[in-house]
Amino acid sequence: MSRQQPQRDTPSRHVDREEVSAIARLGVPLAGVALADNGMALTDMAIVGRLGALELAVVGLSAGLAFETLYILLGLLTVVSVLIAEAVGADDRPRIIAIIGEGIRITVLLSIPMVALCLALPWLLTLTPQDPGVALMSREYLHALVWTFPLAMVFGVQADAASALDRARSVFAVSFGAVILNVPLSWVLVFGFEDGGGIGIAGAGYATSLVHLGMVLAMTVMLVRDKTLAGGFTIKGFVQGDRPVRRDIMRLGLPVSGLSLVESGLFSVLAVLVGGFGAAVLAAHKIVFGFVEFAGSFGFAIGDAATIRVARAIGAEEIWRARRVGQLSYLIGGGLHLLFAVWLVIDPDTIAWVFLGNLDDSNAEAYRWTSLLAGIGAAYLFINGLQIIGEHSLRGVKDTLVPMWLGAAGLWGVGLLGGLILAYGLDLDAYGFWYGLTVGSAMTAALYGLRFMRLTRNPGVSPLDRR
């Protein structure tokens, strides 16, 4: 029998404090994971930006396209945390081990197209309206970065598994250490020591690959030693796999991957289109978008925490609690994104300096465009935070197919189409794309929020039965 709305003797404030504490306990460490995903890319941009605006544009565009593709593929595996959270609630150790093993097996298959795309991307860029130097220089960088992507996919599965097992602090420690290590390693490989010896833009790619190798090794040791999993992994089990678990991952994960394709595909298309306005405009676009992604690291952390807490509440048949988790996550995530939005509006020059270095004649145009895009970028930053929370809350109730179509309608149907009209039809250039993206994201965020509230409206009816 389903559990009903909490009785009058269940203090709502107590529930709120309990859930806020749980979200923070999960969210803070998971922010480290998200920062590792974005932090190393931003570090590469900041270090390479010292070489010049052209080099910054190369790293911003080529790495952006490659990582957006990676996120599409990783979307398939993000449901690992949901499935493991349910298995933990059911105390089903064999299923936990099977889910992790199947996740790793899938990454092996996904690595093949990812590596192929990375190697082909420099040639593909020659077919776009980019500065010829951008396409040419991207080959050097991407060939060094290519090893990152198989490792990043394995780490993604490991991190989701550890988080669902309440080992988020260990994930945070590994991720934070990786970001810190990437700074000196990337600097040395790019510029060398005092007497030189650096290998330029390729050094940033090699540094990121080496750091990801260390992350995978550290997480492997941690999971193997975990008391819940100790002795459970075998080579025979890994080779044979688990077909029912694989079906569950594919059934829930494919729509998530589809939504990642919708989002990442849009961002990649926008970067290519904005690049047609010149390297300085592209550099500014990537700076503002890079800051949005940095802020989004915290939004994704809150969102991932919401996914786990909502999933556990649904598993316990506490629909009222799942609804409250979603509401609290909106408040926390929206508040954090609002603070970052204010920062972007108030001090865009400092943000530009992080990526470009001191203002001079060579980067003055990129500085100017960063300031021009900061206002609309801040509006999108805040709205994007609400969109992230909505998407992850729905994922917690295993609602992944409808959000994929809602995202496609909002981001492509409204965002991209509107951006094209504004950019080229009304001659708003890069502004047009940002205005279109903001409106499309606002529509998507609203639809996600309304759907989550509808699915959790009746405390006695599971959201799984209302879809």
pLDDT at 467 over 60: no
pLDDT band (50, 70, 90) for residue 3: very low
Average pLDDT over residues 423-439: 85
Confidence at residue 35, expressed as pLDDT on a 0 to 100 scale: 67
Length of the chain in residues, anyone?
467
Q: Highest mean pLDDT: which of 24-28, 29-33, 392-396?
A: 392-396
List beta partners, residue 193: 196
Confidence at residue 389, expressed as pLDDT on a 0 to 100 scale: 93
Would you tell me how many other CB atoms lie within 10 Å of the CB of residue 169?
15
Do residues 16 and 324 touch, judged by C-beta distance below 8 A?
yes
Q: What is the pLDDT of residues 156-191, one digit of tens each?
A: 888 878 877 777 788 888 888 888 898 899 888 988
- What 3-state DSSP class applies to 267? helix
- What 3-state DSSP class applies to 76? coil
Distance in angstroms (rounded) separating the CA atoms of residues 358 and 49:
11
Do residues 176 and 114 touch, judged by C-beta distance below 8 A?
no
Q: Mean of the per-residue pLDDT values for the chain?
A: 80
pLDDT at 342 over 90: yes
Tokens of 343: 């920062």
Distance in angstroms (rounded) separating the CA atoms of residues 340 and 465:
38
pLDDT band (50, 70, 90) for residue 129: low
pLDDT band (50, 70, 90) for residue 305: confident
Confidence at residue 450, expressed as pLDDT on a 0 to 100 scale: 93
Which one is predicted more confidently, 142 or 130?
142
Residue ranges of the alpha helices (H) in 316-347? 319-346
Q: What is the pLDDT of residues 58-93, one digit of tens each?
A: 777 777 777 767 777 777 777 777 787 777 766 777
Classify 398 in phi/psi space as left (phi over 0), alpha (psi -120 to 50) or beta: left
Helix (H) or strand (E) holding 277: none
Q: What is the pLDDT of residues 368-383, one digit of tens each?
A: 888 888 888 899 999 9
pLDDT band (50, 70, 90) for residue 2: very low
Which one is predicted more confidently, 372 or 21?
372
Do residues 66 and 142 touch, judged by C-beta distance below 8 A?
yes
